[in-house]
Amino acid sequence: MPYAPFNNQCRELGCKQPRSKLNSFCLDHGGMNHMGNGETNAYSDPAWRSLRRRQLSTQPLCQSCLTKGHIASAVHVDHVFPWRHIGQHAFLNNVFQSLCHECHSYKTGKERKGTFIHYTPDGEKNLTKDDYAYTMARVNAGNF
């Protein structure tokens, strides 16, 4: 007897990533997985979802591709400073940029080596963990 196929992909339009364990979205689009310490995924937080929607509506194109003269739709909202390297407080208190899947994957690979890339109209700016406090002070003062 035939059976219904499994839907293992994210429900977000155009996303091909695997869905999370507890709902039908991938982790980048609000999917939920139970973390080992009893907390749910930070990406399922309503504040994050609101911030993500606002970022993608304000900047719907990939900021990295724009620096290279290309046009691509953004599907990821990237933390310029990876909050897992900085601390939980940096999850919502950060600099955000919209990226396509390819550019987000490239940037994530660079983060593993300790380089954090911020894409600006002037090009790429390489930052480190030590730049977080200075950058956030400038953002909060409105000078960034």
**Which of the two residues, 45 and 75, has the higher pLDDT score?**
75
Q: Are 60 and 46 in contact (CB under 8 A)?
A: no
CA distance 75 to 25: 13
Q: What pLDDT, on the 0 to 100 scale, is given for residue 91?
A: 92
The predicted-structure confidence for 107-139, as pLDDT tens digits, reads as follows 999 998 889 999 999 999 999 999 999 999 998
**Which of the two residues, 3 and 126, has the higher pLDDT score?**
126
Question: Could you tell me where the beta strands, DSSP code E, fall in 1-144?
Answer: 76-79, 96-99, 116-120, 123-127
Sign of CA dihedral 12, 94, 80, 116: negative
CA distance 10 to 19: 4
The predicted-structure confidence for 24-51, as pLDDT tens digits, reads as follows 778 777 776 654 333 457 888 899 999 9
Percent of the chain residues topping a pLDDT of 70: 90
Q: Is the pLDDT of residue 77 over 50?
A: yes
* Residue pointed to by tokens 């933390």: 79
Question: Average of pLDDT values for 56-77?
Answer: 96
φ and ψ at 98, to 5 degrees?
-90, 130
Q: Which of these, 104, 122, 119, lies nearest to 63 by C-alpha position?
A: 119
* Residue pointed to by tokens 């390489």: 126
Average model confidence (pLDDT) across the chain:
87
Q: What pLDDT, on the 0 to 100 scale, is given for residue 39?
A: 46
Q: Are 129 and 84 in contact (CB under 8 A)?
A: no
pTM: 0.70
Q: What pLDDT, on the 0 to 100 scale, is given for residue 97?
A: 97
Mean pLDDT lowest among 6-20, 31-45, 72-86, 92-106? 31-45
DSSP, collapsed to helix, strand or coil, labels residue 96 as: strand
